[in-house]
Amino acid sequence: MDRPHLTQALARLRGPDGPELGCDACFEELDRYVELELAGEDADAAIPGLRAHLGGCPACREEHESLYALVSGEQKP
């Protein structure tokens, strides 16, 4: 009998049709996601599920906002 990974179990708790991405995966991809956003690329297509996770996870949304502000500040000419 397989035990589901904790992150998968937690992701399931967020809703039956919730994002497949857990907080760990979200954190891992957040750098790349923000860079794609700032580059004008389709970040949602490159990393599916992350936007949905941000919508349902205040902690990751806050992390995204501060990372976005940090990276966009760094890229100012």
Binding residues (CB under 5 A) for Zn ion: these are: 23, 26, 57, 60
Residue with smaller CB distance to Zn ion, 23 or 71: 23
Between CA 25 and CA 60 the distance in angstroms is: 11
Residue with smaller CB distance to Zn ion, 47 or 57: 57
What minimum distance in Å lies between the beta carbon of 26 and Zn ion?
5
Residue with smaller CB distance to Zn ion, 37 or 54: 54
67 burial via Cβ count (<10 Å: 0-12, 13-18, 19+): middle
Phi, psi of 47 (to 5 degrees): -130, 80
